[in-house]
Structure 1
Amino acid sequence: MQHTALIFDLDGTLIDSAPAIHAVSNAVLTARGYSALSLEEIRGYVGKGAPHLVRCLLSTAGEDPEGALFQPLYNELVARYETDVAGNTLYPGVRAALERLAAMGCALAITTNKPRAPAVAAMRHVGLDDLFTVVLGGDSLKTRKPDPEMLHEAQRLLGRPRALYLGDSEIDAESAQNASMPFLLYTEGYRKVPVHELHHAISFNDYDMLPGIVEGFQWP
């Protein structure tokens, strides 16, 4: 395991952040007089970064997603992201699995399309910030997932010759494929299509399974 980097998505993979994103989104919408949205609507907007989320919110509110409201709404949302963290919760078994993987010698990184500062705030809230030596957010590089640059940069920073990518969604599956990196799919997150429709090496629904999956992974 000394040669292995494990690169994780964050939202829908390690933490259930949809309730927090739902609360923040509705706070910025209702403060401007727009109607609140349901949790399911907001969950459907998660995964492609804060700019995409804001454009979806504006479109749903009947506004131009590229218009004058975009920047102020984006600024308000990101500012709240860093402080309104109460709705973020760990998926069961995550902390114990990550501790075991670290003890096995794996190097751990986060690559998320969420801006880096809110991502770190959410990780700190759920008690994960001490386990990851690399955290890349949607504003860390010039590109976001599914572009492979973020995954390649995380592996480079971790300094390991081989890497697995772990995520929960269509964007994550596409990112891993674009990076030519084996993909482990956590099935209890925010994906919108059946498991069999996503390109992946192994799927799992329980973090207790993950250390064994990584230890026994058959590299091509």
Structure 2
Amino acid sequence: MAAIVFDLDGTLIDSAPDIHAVANALLAGEGRDPITLDETRRFIGNGAAVLVQRMRQARGIPDSEQARLFAAFMARYDTAVHLTEPYPGVPQALATLRASGHRLGVCTNKPHRPAMAVLAHLELDRFFETVLGGDSMAAHKPDPAPLHAAFNALGETALFYVGDSEVDAETAMRARVPFLLYGAGYRKASIEEMLATAVFANFDQLPGLIETLLTEAA
């Protein structure tokens, strides 16, 4: 059996519409033009503080406003769940992996409370034994420490990290674990640049891919 840890935004869920709505509500309050959905996807990946920083810089809001806007963003983040959807096939793939005896976790740079809120809203929380957010430890991805902690909580020897972004690829490389790339997420680089152990385009492929990799390793 394997321990399989997933990134969240851009991997299991398309949360960009909710994050986009929160960001633009803040920008409207500042009298600034909205950011686009594509910009939002580019800003996701390094945690909420960096997202707010990128949003602010994109619309010319000075650094002195970072703390205030970050606090305002976080005040809305826990309830930003209603426009978010799992990617096609995610619940079925997670159910299949659990039924096969694999142990599942999440390691995300999304803060822990919003991560748990959206997982509960989408009824995905039941699949995971551990969820580490970007504020669960002193370090966050691409530092490998949170990923190591997630794997340690699951306690298996065959390890896989599933993600969609350059941050995820670097985290897996630094943790020295196989990286499975969901090719339809929020990555900015080409698939060839991501140095993934394997790539999948649809979640219905993931359980079979895990079994193939376990067989090859054996």
Fold in common (TM above 0.5): yes
Identify the residue that residue 9 of structure 1 maps to in structure 2.
Answer: 7
Identify the residue that residue 24 of structure 1 maps to in structure 2.
Answer: 22
1:36-51 to 2 correspondences below 5 Å: 36-51=34-49
* 2:56 is the alignment partner of 1:58: yes
* 2:199 is the alignment partner of 1:206: no
* Alpha-carbon distance in 2 for matches of 1:154, 1:88: 24
Q: Which has the higher helix share?
A: 2
Identify the residue that residue 101 of structure 2 maps to in structure 1.
Answer: 105
| 8 Å CA contact retained: 1:88, 1:125 | no
Deviating above 2 A after TM superposition, structure 1's stretches of 4 or more consecutive aligned residues are none
Aligned partner (choices 96, 115, 122) of residue 118 of structure 2: 122
* Alpha-carbon distance in 2 for matches of 1:52, 1:172: 16
Aligned partner (choices 123, 140, 143) of residue 139 of structure 2: 143
Using the size of structure 1 for normalisation, the TM-score is 0.95
Deviations 1:172-202 (A, max 9, x none): 1111000000000000000111111111111
1:88-99 to 2 correspondences below 5 Å: 88-99=84-95
* Alpha-carbon distance in 2 for matches of 1:49, 1:209: 28
* Alpha-carbon distance in 2 for matches of 1:58, 1:143: 23
Aligned positions, number: 216
| 8 Å CA contact retained: 1:6, 1:165 | yes
* Alpha-carbon distance in 1 for matches of 2:141, 2:58: 24
Shift of residue 219 of structure 1? 2.8
* Alpha-carbon distance in 1 for matches of 2:80, 2:16: 12
Shift of residue 126 of structure 1? 1.5
Query: Match of 2:156, as an amino acid?
Result: R
Shift of residue 144 of structure 1? 1.0
Shift of residue 71 of structure 1? 1.3
How much identity, in percent, do the aligned residues show?
A: 46
SS in 2 for 1:70: helix
* Alpha-carbon distance in 2 for matches of 1:116, 1:183: 22
* Alpha-carbon distance in 1 for matches of 2:18, 2:175: 30
Query: Match of 1:175, as an amino acid?
Result: T
SS in 1 for 2:160: strand
Shift of residue 84 of structure 1? 2.3
Shift of residue 42 of structure 1? 1.1
Structure 2 alignment gaps of length 5 or more: none
Q: CA RMSD in A?
A: 1.1
Using the size of structure 2 for normalisation, the TM-score is 0.96
Aligned partner (choices 73, 98, 109) of residue 77 of structure 1: 73
Shift of residue 63 of structure 1? 2.3
